[in-house]
């Protein structure tokens, strides 16, 4: 292989999640999720809109598979809606007879199109009934048992069709944004303007602890009951790189603390069997402890490192104390992020969201770090960007997304360099296939390579979809013909 190529069996495609694309929240027996109810409050998303539409993919999934096939992908990561499979979520609750058959048909159609499925069991859309019943992931005994049951139902119904499973998506984000900052469902926070109850400095770590145990319990079921079908299973963690603001000891230590708080919080338990010592030092008795048997269950519970990565920050010691009501800053303790280096240069060009800036060298650093720390195959399961001003663009302008093309080109190139240096990176799944419901941003944050008209549901490929088809085809030695006529203008 030359330094800029990818293996011919490399997996690439697009990632999505059920809570962001399916819509049809009460169709065919599905129960409500916490994101259905949270987003319907009218003041929890930037545009005031709920997840009820998504991209209407529960209805239009056949069009989406046809489009993905025309984009040349060979893999698709998606998530399963827990409340579509078990509407009330619990281990003694009825199973929806329409749930597993829907996903089975969907997966079979992917396979027929030459696209390998990569399902995620939980991408934040907890059944509302479980949040109401016992506060969801705050209740260790109940949620671990219910998630294990749900996982078993899905594995038994779909396991013969799937070779790579993801248990939980970004538990670090679910715990922090949903139970500290209050910006995500279920919206718990010590900020009483956001939530009538919650403890921002305690609950994230209880929730994170229980997410890890639920993951490990599901993996145990898979390995003991399903793995003979030849698949692998793992956890996906968000890890944006922390670069020291300067080369002082203080900034270097701040970067280590930031990355530990954000990402090693979950990575070390599943690959090393316990929380990192630095996190224990930072949090003290606010960090729950694993019992000896739980450490055994966690150790090695991810067959690979599932990585979601978007950007890089400079990090340094905080110079002014966090305000008493600034729980986001308190979450990071004495560390703060900045996009500007000491010489005044910005870390990367401004994009369509303030927290996502293209920094391909940071992507290379985090990939190398994770390989050196854990020695596991790496699956890049999300990576993407929004073009500057894209949220206000009409279709004709939005489809000319050269900024996104430059982002993908630069990130894939540094990834390919590492692969050719021997780092075992097995997939690149871009976020995302189509403009969708983007959590607290509603429909204003447009990460997709497909423009979606939220009034009609019509899809229009953006320029980046064609670029990636050609680019990845060349990288993998499978040069595709010209896209003229290959991707429909609208489907």
Which tokens is 279 given? 């996190």
Catalytic site residue 382? yes
Residue 485, domain member (yes or no): no
pTM: 0.96
Place of tokens 């606010």: 286
> What pLDDT is recorded for position 454?
94
Residue 491, domain member (yes or no): no
Which tokens is 340 given? 């500007």
> What pLDDT is recorded for position 3?
66
Domain span holding position 306:
11-475
Residue 486, domain member (yes or no): no
Residue 470, domain member (yes or no): yes
Structural domain tally of the chain? Answer: 1
Which regions of the chain are under pLDDT 50? 1, 480-491
> What pLDDT is recorded for position 86?
99
* CATH at 244: 3.20.20.80
Residue 1, domain member (yes or no): no
Indicate the SS3 state at residue 473: helix
> What pLDDT is recorded for position 480?
44
Residue 484, domain member (yes or no): no
The Cα 485–Cα 468 span in angstroms is 16
The Cα 116–Cα 108 span in angstroms is 10
Helix (H) or strand (E) holding 369: helix 360-374
Catalytic residue among 22, 142, 170, 336: 170
Catalytic site residue 225? no
> What pLDDT is recorded for position 230?
81
Residue 480, domain member (yes or no): no
> What pLDDT is recorded for position 482?
33
Catalytic residue among 203, 382, 390, 438: 382
Place of tokens 């997840």: 51
The Cα 154–Cα 89 span in angstroms is 13
Residue 5, domain member (yes or no): no
């Amino acid at each position: 292989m030359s330094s800029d190529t990818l293996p011919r069996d490399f997996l690439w495609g697009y990632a999505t999640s059920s809570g962001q694309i399916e819509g049809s929240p009460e169709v065919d027996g599905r129960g409500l999720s916490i994101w259905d109810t949270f987003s319907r409050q009218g003041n929890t998303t930037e545009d005031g809109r709920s997840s009820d539409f998504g991209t209407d993919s529960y209805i239009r999934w056949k069009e989406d598979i046809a489009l993905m096939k025309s984009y040349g992908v060979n893999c698709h990561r998606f998530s399963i809606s827990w409340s579509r499979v078990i509407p009330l979520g619990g281990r003694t609750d009825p199973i929806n007879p329409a749930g597993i058959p829907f996903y089975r048909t969907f997966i079979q159609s992917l396979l027929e199109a030459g696209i390998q499925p990569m399902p995620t069991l939980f991408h934040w859309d907890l059944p509302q009934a479980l949040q109401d019943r016992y506060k969801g992931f705050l209740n260790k005994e109940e949620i671990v048992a219910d998630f294990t049951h749900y996982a078993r139902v899905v594995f038994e119904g779909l396991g013969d069709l799937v070779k790579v499973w993801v248990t939980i998506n970004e538990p670090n984000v679910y715990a922090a944004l949903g139970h500290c900052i209050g910006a995500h469902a279920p919206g718990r926070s010590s900020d009483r303007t956001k939530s009538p109850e919650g403890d921002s400095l305690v609950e994230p770590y209880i929730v994170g602890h229980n997410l890890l145990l639920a993951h490990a319990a599901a993996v145990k079921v898979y390995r003991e009951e399903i793995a003979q079908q030849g698949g692998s299973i793992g956890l996906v963690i968000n890890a944006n790189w922390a670069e020291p603001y300067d080369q002082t000891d203080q900034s270097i230590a701040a970067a280590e603390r930031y990355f530990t708080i954000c990402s090693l919080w979950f990575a070390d338990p599943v690959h090393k069997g316990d929380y990192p010592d630095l996190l224990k030092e930072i949090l003290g008795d606010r960090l729950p402890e694993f019992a000896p048997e739980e450490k055994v269950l966690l150790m090695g519970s991810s067959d690979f490192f599932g990585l979601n990565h978007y950007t890089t920050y400079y990090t340094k010691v905080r110079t002014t104390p966090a305000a008493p009501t600034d729980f986001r800053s308190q979450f990071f303790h004495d560390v703060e992020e900045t996009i500007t280096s000491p010489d005044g240069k910005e870390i990367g060009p401004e994009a369509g969201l303030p927290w996502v800036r293209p920094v391909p060298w940071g992507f290379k650093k985090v990939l190398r770090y994770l390989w050196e720390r854990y020695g596991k195959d790496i699956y890049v399961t999300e990576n993407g960007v929004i073009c500057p001003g894209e949220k206000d663009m009409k279709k004709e302008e939005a489809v000319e997304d050269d900024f996104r093309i430059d982002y993908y080109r630069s990130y894939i190139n540094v990834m390919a360099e590492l692969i050719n240096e021997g780092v075992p990176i097995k997939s690149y799944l871009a976020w995302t296939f189509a403009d969708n419901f983007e959590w607290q941003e509603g429909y204003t944050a447009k990460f997709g390579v497909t423009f979606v008209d939220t009034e009609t549901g019509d899809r229009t490929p953006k320029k980046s979809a064609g670029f990636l088809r050609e680019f990845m085809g060349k990288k993998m030695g499978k040069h595709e013909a010209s896209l003229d006529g290959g991707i429909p203008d609208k489907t």
